[in-house]
Amino acid sequence: MEVVNAIGRRKAAIARVFVSEGTGKITINKRELTQYFPSGILQYVVLQPLNTLGVVEKYDINVNLCGGGYKGQAEALRLAIARALVKINAEDKPALKAEGFMTRDSRVVERKKPGRPKARKRFQFSKR
């Protein structure tokens, strides 16, 4: 099997994933998964598509991650892994879609408007 690549995005984070057959090693920006995401919850989020299909020890995953915070990066990586798994085997798509891993979450931060302290917040109104 050759290397399969996919892209996942969430908020300001972008994850480029390269999946090849292997022993289940996940490398993010030349660091291990447990070193890059010390939080167990974020590790669980990243591994969700692999656990759903039961292929955690089947593929080696190399990741380039940039932008955003750690939560956005973890969810971008989850989407990228799910997309790569579908490229490898299209029959897995219904199972991943039912769990919600194939959907790109398009919510991003609203821009700040001029004359206001934040996007929607206004300065205190004074009648006199």
Q: pTM for the complete prediction?
A: 0.91
Cα–Cα distance, 72 to 29 (Å, whole number): 16
Q: Residue 119: what pLDDT?
A: 96
Q: Residue 32: what pLDDT?
A: 95
Nearest by Cα to 78 from 57, 100, 47, 122 = 47
Q: Which pLDDT tens digits describe the chain residue by residue (128 residues)?
A: 689 999 999 999 999 999 999 999 999 999 999 999 999 999 999 999 999 999 999 999 999 999 999 999 999 999 999 999 999 999 999 999 999 999 999 999 999 999 999 999 999 999 98
Cα–Cα distance, 127 to 103 (Å, whole number): 47
